[in-house]
Amino acid sequence: MEFNLNTMIRPHLAGVKSYQTLRDFFLNQKVVFLDANENPFGDFNRYPDGDPIQLKKKLAEINLAKTENLFLGNGSDELIDLTMRIFCEPAKDSIMIMNPSFVMYEIYAKMNNLQVEKLQLNSDFELEKGKFLDTISKSQAKVLFLCTPNNPTGNSIDDLEFYIQNFNGIVVVDEAYIEFSPEDSAVKLLNKYPNLIVLKTLSKAFGMAGLRIGVGFASPEIANLFIQLKPPYNISSESQKLALEQLNQVEEIQNNIGFILEEKKKLKKGLDQINGVVKIYPSDANFFLIEFKDAQLIYQKLLDKNILTSLRHPSLKNCLRISVGTAQENSELLKVLSEIN
Ligand SMILES: *Cc1c(COP(=O)(O)O)cnc(C)c1O
């Protein structure tokens, strides 16, 4: 499929000059900073690096990518919103999403006044190729959001490349849970598909949700667009520093992922024994989507014991999404569930 980035960008953005911090020109020089109206006193008085190069280098190394492919957001949430703001014209363009999938795609689309076209997943929450080809042949959607492993269903998309290849527009592959999954990251497909954007986050497997760091990967041209058009200081200096410290201990992060996956196996075994459970959907992530006879009742009973689960997705009746916690949290969950029956 012929892809021309210039025809994808919202026309008026071609002429927009982004904010340029003067400091970026004097990075290796010792200068007195009287340029940004900061307070000269205090521990956090300076603006952070606008383009955190050290953090990006580390993230590139971990993800087997090049720094010129990378761009960072205040959580991948910000990058989802920016994708729409860069490529989609309000009151005119549409995006395409899987249904059910991560609810924020639709929320950001509404905030940006975009139409949302939905690809209905089958009863196993899989995309169907025939249906996909049929839908896109009638669609003008500029951006397709694919989520794999999918939230809230937990399963991975089979033959991801098929969808990237056949969509005539930008394809965003949201890999918020990929580190838990046995599947390969789509980052290795970047050279092959100029229309591909891969989103990752430090919020899930990396255990840094509080730092708000999302990581985007795309061609250097697309990465540059995001760097130009993002808010100037979207990653705080403390987040940059703390994330780098944590990423330098990547072994510990790996160990925690291993531990969560072990716990997930045990949790699955326990859940299999619970009476009110109708179905546990296969998951490549750190949560299970579980169908109960009466999800509302289970949700409330768990809440009565101070356990909060997620009963939210409009198209998933009688399902709860439950995250894998610590060994103690998981056994508490199982204990409460077994007492309900
Ligand atoms: C959690 C989640 C995100 C958001 O991550 P942040 O980086 O914390 O904004 C993005 N996509 C999916 C599918 C998620 O589940």
CATH number of the domain where residue 159 is located: 3.40.640.10
Rounded alpha-carbon distances, angstroms, from residue 324 to 62, 90, 259, 334:
24, 38, 10, 12
The DSSP code for 46 is S
**CB 297 within 8 Å of CB 277:** no
Sequence letter at residue 254: Q
If asked whether residues 174 and 226 sit together in one domain, one would say: yes
User: Could you tell me if 192 and 297 lie in one domain?
Assistant: no
The confidence score (pLDDT) of residue 23 equals 82
Cα(254) to centroid of ligand 1, in Å?
Answer: 19
Asked whether the beta carbons of 176 and 203 are under 8 A apart, the reply is yes
How many whole angstroms separate alpha carbon 2 and alpha carbon 318? 43
- pTM, two decimals, is 0.96
CB distance 147 to ligand 1 below 6 Å: yes
Asked which of 225, 248, 271 is the last residue of a domain, the reply is 248
**Does any ligand 1 atom lie closer than 6 A to the CB of residue 203?**
yes
Residues 202 and 166 in one domain: yes
Helical axes 53-62 vs 237-247, angle rounded to 10°? 30
Residues 6+ apart with CB under 8 A from 208: 202, 242, 243, 246
Q: What pLDDT does residue 314 have?
A: 73
Do 163 and 219 lie in one domain? The reply is yes
> What is the CA 6 to chain-centroid distance, rounded?
25
Residue to mutate, 106, 145, 153, 204, ligand 1, most ligand atoms under 8 Å from C-beta: 204
**Atom number in ligand 1 closest to CA 214:** 7
Token pair belonging to 190:
């970047």
User: Both 145 and 37 in a single domain?
Assistant: yes
Last residue of a domain, one of 229, 248, 267: 248
At 120 the three-state DSSP class reads strand
Full residue range of the structural domain in which residue 284 is found? 251-339
23 and 102 together in one domain = yes
- Specify the pairing of strand 319-323 against strand 287-292: antiparallel
Q: Is the CB of 175 under 6 A from ligand 1?
A: no
Total count of domains within the chain: 2
List per-residue pLDDT tens for the chain, 341 residues long. 689 999 999 999 987 877 778 887 887 889 999 999 999 999 999 999 889 999 999 999 999 999 999 999 999 999 999 999 999 999 999 999 999 999 999 999 999 999 999 999 999 999 999 999 999 999 999 999 999 999 999 999 999 999 999 999 999 999 999 999 999 999 999 999 999 999 999 999 999 999 999 999 999 999 999 999 999 999 999 999 999 999 999 999 999 999 999 999 999 999 999 999 999 999 999 999 999 999 999 999 999 999 999 997 777 889 999 999 999 999 999 999 999 96
Task: Determine how many CB atoms are found less than 10 A away from the CB of residue 158.
Answer: 12
Going across the sheet that includes 287-292, the strands are 277-280, 287-292, 319-323
- Could you tell me if residue 146 is left (phi over 0), alpha (psi between -120 and 50 degrees) or otherwise beta? beta
Indicate if 131 and 227 belong to the same structural domain: yes
Q: Say what the pLDDT of residue 341 is.
A: 64
For 292, residues 6+ apart whose C-beta sits below 8 A from its C-beta are: 276, 277, 278, 298, 318, 319, 320
pLDDT score for 150 = 98
Of 206, 310, 146, 67, whose CA–CA distance to 214 is shortest?
A: 206
DSSP state of 226: H
**Which strand (E) or helix (H) includes residue 238?**
helix 237-247
By C-alpha distance, which of 217, 234, 243 is closest to 71? 217
| Strands ordered across the beta sheet of 170-174 | 70-73, 214-217, 196-201, 170-174, 143-147, 94-99, 115-120
In a domain, 3, yes or no: no
Q: Which one-letter DSSP state was computed for residue 310? A: B
From 233, 248, 263, the end of a domain falls on: 248
- Domain membership of residue 280 (yes or no) is yes
> φ and ψ at 269, to 5 degrees?
-60, -45
